[in-house]
Structure 1
Amino acid sequence: MCSLLARIAMACWRPVGRYACMSKDDSVNNDDDSSLGDSLLWSKDLEKHSYGEFSFAVVQANEIIEDHSQVETGRDATFVGVYDGHGGPDASRFICEHLFENLMKLSRERGTISEEILRSAFSATEDGFLTLVRRTCGIKPLIAAIGSCCLVGVIWRRTLYVANLGDSRAVIGCLGRSNEIVAEQLTKDHNACLEEVRQELKSLHPDDSRIVVMKHGAWRIKGIIQVSRSIGDAYLKRPEFSLDPSFPRFHLPDPIRRPVLTSDPSMYSRVLQANDKFLIFASDGLWEHMTNQEAVEIVYNYPRTGIAKRLAKTALKEAAGKGEMIYDELKKIDKGSRRAFHDDITVIVIFIDHELLSENISVPEVSIRGFIDTVGASKFNILHGI
């Protein structure tokens, strides 16, 4: 663990570009009494997108952060991506660098955005990463065991499109008939802990009695992995990428006859209605510590500024309590060691201001990458004229 001085030093970070103001946690606009922020918590409190405002926060737990994420704002559209990696950061980083570009290329070629085009962008990203695995597995064989969940949302022409692989989650907050806020989950969790997913796997692999196995207190596909859909995880999709017994954690005693994981996303779309107030896109690091309803009530009942950070801190306080400590004590635990108490956490809250949906509001075309402090011009301008 780092000393107190080291933790303070970690909180000092380089300036960013001219597009936005981002900061590591400085304990502003929160309920903490502590004057020392959390050096592993990055946030962007409030910025504009085409249809309202958004808030963004990321917490690091692993020695090398495996969550990658982005928000792309354009004149006519908004893109959100949450990529929760496992086995390493290679797949989630690759998705962050390529999926949005693939979507823009396909949208420009076909003159629209649709579920089909979003699905094709996922397929192109999977193909690209497997090509990278094939090219590099000779010198880095474990890249075949690296994968990532992938959650994407696009708002374009009053329509929301969502595509999902894995157990990150998109939730919408809607006003009910009694003016109360109600959570609606827009995505399916592709996780073997769910009976529905286990039955799906068994029906797809009737000749494999060990397609799902209880191991280390959880249902796992082939006794190894919990998520049933992902980008990457090449060794569970193609026999050519099987790992030998020198990597026992990822070794399959029998070659796979067909892929046991898929990169085909579940899709969802809806025309946004007046009672749709905001969206929460988050990795499972958030959802393991709060319910959908708890999350939307926090967003609805507190100020917009810093709301993603508030959600992340609420999850961290819950994690601290489970570890029989308070959040101030958890903040003193360094990356790597923090993974014993919580996962990497990504939270993006997208507010929907309906009066802007029919107006031509000028907002900066900005690309923001979570935690890594990258801010620049977005490539959304290629959508102009579609």
Structure 2
Amino acid sequence: MLMNLLWACFRPRLLSERRVRNGENSGGRQEGLLWYKDTGHHVNGDFSMAVVQANNLLEDQSQVESGCLSLQDSGPYGTFVGVYDGHGGPETSRFINSNLFQHLKRFTSENQSMSVEVIKKAFEATEDGFLSLVSKQWPLNPQIAAVGSCCLVGVVCGGTLYIANLGDSRAVLGRLMKATGETVALQLSAEHNACIESVRQELHSTHPDDSQIVVLKHNVWRVKGLIQISRSIGDVYLKKAEYNRAPLYARFRLREPFKRPILSSDPSVSAHQLQPHDQFIIFASDGLWEHLTNQEAVDIVQNHPRSGSAKRLVKNALRSAAKKREMRYSDLKKIDRGVRRHFHDDITVVVLFLDSNLVSRGSSFRTPNISVKGAGVTLPSNTLAPGLA
């Protein structure tokens, strides 16, 4: 009898701990290589989130943080969205996922408000932190110098939407046009990819003495023939010459030492006053935009129920990827991670819906803190994942 009573007391706690360990407290679900959260609530409305894995190790990381954006309970309050598209490995995107928001809260506390400058300081502190990590790990793990990540951030606070970006992830706003009843797509983020002519011009202007700063390689423009993006967190081998040497793999080493950083960690940051007819924002890594245009993505969100919006966008991108390879979507779903990367990239999508009544109430309205992070898949490497249903 006593043992039964003790088991009854402890059982709920054990079940609760299991849910926390499995990430089920955030409401996320897993189907093969897909992790998704169909719907959740943030300070300013609802959100939907999805991640599909293509690499053997998930290089995309993401988070939604809503509630207090400061270390002080007095606020301000709002919502933070981060999409981090890693390359060369998952270390940098994971580092950003663990550190950037904490830096933002610290600088918001110091300034007692949200601002463009606060966001820039948070990016700078995150970059400095990863540089410190590389310097410590270099003797035993020199390849960490060749790992980096794009970084896309959105902050909704006090009726203002801040967008900050490094690399080629993208934020797109869906705005209702009252005159026509249509919801149009407005791109909010500036991208830093050498395939864009203005980015190549910027690289030439900042490196006037280097005629090979961008190279056309296999019909793709790359910085120094190595990487497509011109701005990132990490990629220390192209920012500090002392890390561009042996024992770093030869394919990353430049023939001549460089005197100034080749890549930048300075984000493009903009502030937008939200309007009552601004419906939602799509934040996504470039894996989505390789297969869907801005307007196609906005139409998919607008023409269907809010719940499952992010998963719906991912599935449409995968159908497009399958069609391009003249294969059936059902066959693409059966391909395992690692091999899947030959057909599409890791794809991360966060759809943030905006309730104008909630947006307009200001940044001092206290709400519970919400934290959800996009999850990867933990399967044995020889397991064929069923993919998406």
- Native 8 Å contact 2:142 2:248 kept in 1: no
Q: Cα distance 1:355–1:144, how it changes in 2: closer, same or farther (>3 A)?
A: same
State whether residues 84 and 93 of structure 2, in contact with CA within 8 Å, keep that contact through their aligned partners in structure 1.
Answer: yes
Residues in 2 aligned to 1:372 and 1:213: alpha-carbon distance in whole angstroms: 34
Give me the identity figure in percent.
57
Specify which of 267, 289, 292 is matched with residue 290 of structure 1: 292
The offset of 1:15, in angstroms, is: 6.9
Distance (Å, rounded) in 1 between the aligned partners of 2:343 and 2:112: 46
Find the counterpart in structure 1 of residue 125 from structure 2.
Answer: 124
- SS of residue in 2 equivalent to 1:261: coil
* Equivalent residue, structure 2, for 1:169: 170
Q: Are the structure 2 counterparts of residues 18 and 333 from structure 1 closer, same or farther at C-alpha, using a change threshold of 3 Å?
A: closer
Match of 2:283 in 1: 281
Pairwise CA distance, 1:315: 0.3
In the alignment, structure 1 segments of 5+ residues that lack a partner are 1-12, 26-38, 374-386
Equivalent in 41, 45, 50 of residue 43 of structure 2: 50
* 1:147 Cα deviation after fit: 0.4
Q: Is it true that 1:210 corresponds to 2:216 in the alignment?
A: no
| 8 Å contact from structure 2 (residues 244, 254) kept in 1 | yes
Aligned amino acid, residue 98 of structure 1 = N
Structure 2, unpaired ranges of 5+: 1-18, 69-76, 378-389
Tell me the equivalent position of 2:27: 21
TM-score between the two structures when normalised by the length of structure 1: 0.87
Rounded to whole Å, the distance in 2 between the matches of 1:18 and 1:285 is 26
Residue aligning to 2:301 = 299
Q: Deviations over 1:227-279 (max 9, x none)?
A: 00000000101111113376122010001121110000001111110111100
What secondary structure is seen at the aligned counterpart in 2 of 1:256?
coil
Conservation of the 8 A alpha-carbon contact between 1:245 and 1:251: no
- Please state if 1:369 is matched with 2:373: yes
TM-score (norm 2): 0.87
- For 1:190, give the aligned amino acid: H
Q: Is this contact kept in 1: 2:53–2:376, CA < 8 A?
A: no
Instruction: Say which SS state the counterpart of residue 74 (structure 1) adopts.
Output: strand
SS at match of 1:170: strand
Q: Which is higher, the Rg of structure 1 or of structure 2?
A: 2
Q: Which residue of 2 aligns with 1:325?
A: 327
Once the two structures are TM-superposed, the CA of residue 58 in structure 1 deviates from its matched residue by 0.3
Contact map agreement 2:142 2:247 (CA 8 A) in 1: no
* 3-state SS of 1:118 partner: helix
What pairs up with 1:102-117 in 2 under 5 angstroms? 102-117=103-118
Is the 8 Å Cα contact of residues 92 and 148 (structure 2) preserved in structure 1? yes
1:309 alignment partner in structure 2? 311
1:262 maps to what in 2? 264
Mapped to 2, the partners of 1:16 and 1:302 lie a distance apart of 30
The 2-side partners of 1:150 and 1:173 are apart by 21
Counterpart check, 1:199 vs 2:205: no
Q: Which SS does the other structure have where 2:85 is aligned?
A: strand
Find out whether 1:241 has 2:261 as its counterpart.
Answer: no
- Is the CA contact 1:48–1:363 (under 8 Å) kept in the aligned structure 2? no
For residues 135 and 58 of structure 2, the distance between their equivalents in structure 1, rounded to whole angstroms, comes to: 24
Question: Corresponding residue for 2:97?
Answer: 96
* Aligned counterparts of 1:133 and 1:308: Cα–Cα separation in 2: 34
Root-mean-square deviation over aligned CA pairs? 1.7
Matched, 1:62 2:51: no
CA distance in 2, matches of 1:14, 1:267: 35
Question: Which deviations, in whole Å up to 9, do the C-alpha atoms of 1:101-139 show, x marking residues without a partner?
Answer: 000011111101100010000000000000000010110
Structure 1 residue runs of 4 or more that deviate by more than 2 Å after TM superposition: 13-20, 243-246, 357-364
Aligned residues: 348
2:291 and 2:317 in contact (8 A); partners too: yes
